[in-house]
Amino acid sequence: MGAEQLALLGGTPVGAVPQDPHPTFSDACIQRVVDHLRGGRTVGLNKGTDVVRECEEAVAAWQGVEECMAVSSGHAALHTALMGLEISTGDEVICTPYSWGASVSCVLHCGAVPVFADVDVETGLLDPASVEASITPRTRAILPVHLFGQPANMTALCAVAQKHGLVVVEDGSQAHGSIHAGRKVGSFGDAAGFSCMGGKLLASSEAGYMLCHDKEVYWKAALNTQHMGRCSEPGYPDALRPFVDSLVYTYRASQLDAVMLTEQLRKIDVENAGRRRNVALFKRHLEGLGSIAFPRFPAGDDPAYHMLSVNFVPEHAGVTRATYMQALSAEGVGTWPYVPSPIPHWTRFRWQDYAGPRIFWTDQLRASGIDYASVEVPNCVTKVARSLEMGWNYVADEPARMERLAEAFWNVERNLPALREWERKEVLV
């Protein structure tokens, strides 16, 4: 079964396993975009524009929330959510140390202070117990991330928030359609932000959306992050009208992206189901393989698989992760660690001795007195050291692809003694 020798050591590689094209757009979607371009219709300021209203209402219904605001990016969506909840100067927001930077920079851009709790060592998702231990009198919000499409434990996180009078903002940028406790993520918190750039599960060109349940949050978000044309929407509060001006973050989405999002919604459930079936098949093919372990999720949770994240087991492999990745790459399978290091350890958080270009958040961090160098997140450190990610645009049901993908891992597994010897010699050179 498969090559007898690793490709890294001169054997024949299993070969690359091509993924499905992503994103793809239906003929109807393309035609609608073309019609808008020909008509010069690219700007939509509010729900008075039919395609903006159509998009926002369709997304809200699909997500199971009352309000949706289409915006220009995932970062814009998170920033909009925080501003709608009036997170501002000096407020502390409990964040994950294991994510893409926008999950934290949105907090900095509000003048607020990120405080880092630890994560679950298997999934890299926020640990509710660590979150509760991180709460101080200045804490205003919790910002969990559904990383890689894995659903965070929103039941426990929302219970912590309710107990301490905090708001919750979900980052679902990689998790469109991910399920926790039988519900889509993005519907649990006070607000949520999603990215819809071209690489995401719900893909346009470059866009996103903010979700919330409370109309007041929606209007306060509009006041700060949308063109003042939003105030012409029905129901705009008279109490906010004296504050309407153009001192805003320009986070509106174009009509073109609104059209794309509406049309992409028509097929995302089918695509997500295909991703899930392929993960399940891949897991079955790898049963008994000891060098990697899959994160486990409770009943009622169902990831959406923007990427597939697994954990390398060095105690079993007997080689470094770098060597293991090199062997897989030679077989034709690309893997990588998505998060390079815990976010609080990044250079631009070292306000005490930072020597780079001036950053506006240095002063707010200095004023808070927070010392990120002393932040201890041991589970995050372990997850960073062991995590391996793979692109997962495997949507169509082609079982042979999952078999070939698994064969690359098994070929490395069967040849671990030779790989250990190769690594030992490489170290000695």
Confidence of residue 1 (pLDDT cuts 50, 70, 90): very low
Look at the alpha carbons of 27, 395, 63, 390 in this order and tell me if their dihedral is positive or negative.
negative
Please say if the pLDDT value at position 285 is more than 60: yes
CATH 3.90.1150.10 in the chain: give the residue spans: 7-18+268-339+382-428
Q: Tens digits of per-residue pLDDT, 32-88?
A: 999 999 999 999 999 999 999 999 999 999 999 999 999 999 999 999 999 999 999
What fold is seen in the domain 27-265? Aspartate Aminotransferase; domain 2 (3.40.640)
Is the pTM higher than 0.95? The answer reads yes
CATH architecture of 7-18+268-339+382-428: Alpha-Beta Complex (3.90)
CATH 3.40.640.10 in the chain: give the residue spans: 27-265
